[in-house]
Amino acid sequence: ILDKTELTISPNPIHDVIQLKWEKNHSEDIMIRIFDATGEIKYIGKGFDGHIEIDAKNWTSGMYILQYQTQKGIIQYRKMIKL
């Protein structure tokens, strides 16, 4: 099961590309959603093989919330800042 310490967001603060990494030894894929401060969904996708890159080049500066969910239903949230 993924927990908060096993997901790495880089860079944070965000510039143009977000790289998410998690331990590959988890057999589960994860569902990723990113919301801006108004609650608008900026990204929805699945993560495979322990790594995903997300293009944030056209996002406005501010705070974003990353939600990730395992296939077992475990949900975690992380805060990100876009410069």
What is the tens place of the pLDDT at every residue in 52-74? 999 999 999 999 999 998 777 88
DSSP per-residue codes, the chain: ---GGGEEEESSSB-SEEEEEE-TT----EEEEEEETTS-EEEEEEEBTTEEEEE-TTPPSEEEEEEEEETT--EEEEEEEE-
List residues bridging with 19 in a β-sheet.
Answer: 10, 53
Per-residue pLDDT, 1: 45
Q: What is the pTM of this model?
A: 0.86
